[in-house]
């Protein structure tokens, strides 16, 4: 039986000293399971010499591949934090060859507040990579991940969902990559995750994302969008749990007995793509948002997707929003109100 220990119960002993601003109690070389945290200095009205703690679990058993799993990059997306939190408790180092670094809540102030961006510095973590050594709390976490954790990892899985303002048919995703080897390795990891949809995605807005920082190192990176609306379902949590275990098995890291959710029959993942901007329909108005198609519906180019009704004037007809391509609706704006610039609909096409 390998050792399991908690740095929480034994008190904080910094294993790393400056020049890093973030300190940690973790011993990255030790075998076994460690529960600890990153300590991010945050001097506030509530705590003059205080810190934000980022909980972290390292499960390691000897040399071998290492996968970094992150959830709670955005604070209103829950499948990642829940599934990673459960597996951090359930997985045992004896069943490992290699290691996993598990961070269920990468941006704890945002997760604690249930908000996309951090309430203490107003920063959207996934637009702030590679971060800044002496920046605000969120930027310091990004910097630590980029400079200290990423070099430890052979691959990264960043678990997102739609949050309060979007909802998706659950998918794992990767970007179009120039290096063919990196593309194939990443695609194999995405396949292994085995979400209902595996999506090759061209995104609207990529500056400052974790994705690009990992991709620039040549390592495989996938992310997910597993649901949304600011909550979870039994199905979306199971997809996250199964996907994490699938990736660990894919890299030969996890050798444990099949978990209950692994024994269930699941349909094969479906390869899809959002190859360009025609996959997105964007709002131009403020008003009541009436979607007229459902997630999973097939739509034709030019088909009506939704209407936005003026709240102030009854004489104005609704603004109509159409599909810019034929395909399947895999994502939609979730709230009943829309504003200019909101992404209202995401349409994917079958790939292969
Ligand atoms: Ca997200």
pLDDT at residue number 6:
74
Same domain, 286 and 250: no
pLDDT at residue number 287:
98
Cβ atoms of 219 and 153 within 8 Å: the answer is: yes
- Residue 211 to residues 109, 128, 184, 290: CA-CA distances in angstroms? 21, 11, 16, 33
pLDDT at residue number 12:
63
Same domain, 240 and 332: no
Cα 226 from chain centre? 9
Rounded Cα gap, residues 211 and 67, in angstroms: 14
pLDDT at residue number 216:
96
Instruction: Give the angle 349-351-352 at the CA atoms, nearest 5°.
Output: 145
Instruction: Find the domain containing 180 and state its range.
Output: 23-274
Kindly state whether residue 197 falls inside one of the protein's structural domains: yes
Rounded Cα gap, residues 337 and 310, in angstroms: 10
Sequence-distant (6+) residues with CB within 8 A of 83 are 71, 159, 237, 240, 241, 244
Domain boundary (248, 274, 300) is at 274
306 strand-pairing partners:
291, 321
- Tally of domains within the chain: 2
Domain boundary (239, 274, 309) is at 274
pLDDT at residue number 41:
95
Same domain, 124 and 232: yes
Q: Could you tell me the distance, in angstroms and rounded to a whole number, from the CA of residue 131 to the centre of ligand 1? A: 17
Q: Could you tell me the distance, in angstroms and rounded to a whole number, from the CA of residue 77 to the centre of ligand 1? A: 7
Same domain, 238 and 310: no
Rounded Cα gap, residues 35 and 56, in angstroms: 6
Same domain, 325 and 241: no
Q: Are strands 280-282 and 343-350 parallel, antiparallel or unpaired?
A: antiparallel
User: What is the tally of helices (H) and strands (E) in the chain?
Assistant: 8, 20
> Of all helices (H) and strands (E), which one includes residue 211?
helix 210-215
Binned average pLDDT, 10 residues per bin, the chain of 352 residues:
63 60 92 97 94 97 98 98 98 98 98 97 96 95 96 98 98 97 98 98 88 97 97 97 98 96 92 96 98 98 98 97 98 98 98 84
Length of the chain: 352
Q: Could you tell me the distance, in angstroms and rounded to a whole number, from the CA of residue 302 to the centre of ligand 1? A: 28
Q: Could you tell me the distance, in angstroms and rounded to a whole number, from the CA of residue 30 to the centre of ligand 1? A: 32
Q: Could you tell me the distance, in angstroms and rounded to a whole number, from the CA of residue 71 to the centre of ligand 1? A: 9
Rounded (10°) angle between helices 79-90 and 234-250: 60
Q: Could you tell me the distance, in angstroms and rounded to a whole number, from the CA of residue 46 to the centre of ligand 1? A: 29
Tokens representing 340?
Answer: 């200019």
Q: Could you tell me the distance, in angstroms and rounded to a whole number, from the CA of residue 3 to the centre of ligand 1? A: 34
Same domain, 78 and 112: yes
pLDDT at residue number 204:
76
Same domain, 191 and 93: yes
Tokens representing 30?
Answer: 């030790």
């Amino acid at each position: 039986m390998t050792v399991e220990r908690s740095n929480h119960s034994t008190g904080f002993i910094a294993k790393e000293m400056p020049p890093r601003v973030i300190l940690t109690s973790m011993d990255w070389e030790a075998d076994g399971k460690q529960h600890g945290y990153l300590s991010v200095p945050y001097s506030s009205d509530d705590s003059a010499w205080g810190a934000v703690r980022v909980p972290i679990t390292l499960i390691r058993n000897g040399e071998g591949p290492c996968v970094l799993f992150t959830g709670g990059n955005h604070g209103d997306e829950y499948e990642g934090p829940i599934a990673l939190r459960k597996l951090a408790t359930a997985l045992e180092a004896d069943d490992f060859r290699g290691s996993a670094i598990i961070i269920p809540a990468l941006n704890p102030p945002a997760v604690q507040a249930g908000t996309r961006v951090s309430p203490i510095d107003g920063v959207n973590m996934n637009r702030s990579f590679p971060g800044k050594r002496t920046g605000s709390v969120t930027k310091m976490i990004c910097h630590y991940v980029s400079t200290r954790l990423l070099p430890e990892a052979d691959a990264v899985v960043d678990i997102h969902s739609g949050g309060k303002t979007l909802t998706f048919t659950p998918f794992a995703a990767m970007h179009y990559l120039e290096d063919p080897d990196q593309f194939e390795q990443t695609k194999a990891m995405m396949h292994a995750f085995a979400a209902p949809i595996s999506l090759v995605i061209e995104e609207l807005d990529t500056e400052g994302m974790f994705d690009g920082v990992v991709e620039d190192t040549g390592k495989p990176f996938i992310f997910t969008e597993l649901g949304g609306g600011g909550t979870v379902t039994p199905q979306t949590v199971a997809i996250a749990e199964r996907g994490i275990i699938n990736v660990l098995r894919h890299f030969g890291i996890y050798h444990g007995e099949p978990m209950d959710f692994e024994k269930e029959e699941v349909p094969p993942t479906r390869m899809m793509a959002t190859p360009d901007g025609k996959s997105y329909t964007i709002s131009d108005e403020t008003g009541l948002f009436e979607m007229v198609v459902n997630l999973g519906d097939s739509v034709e180019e030019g088909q009506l997707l939704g209407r936005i009704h003026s709240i102030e004037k009854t004489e104005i007809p609704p603004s109509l929003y159409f599909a810019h391509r034929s395909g399947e609706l895999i994502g939609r704006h979730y709230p009943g109100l829309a504003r200019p610039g909101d992404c209202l609909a995401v349409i994917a096409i079958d790939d292969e």
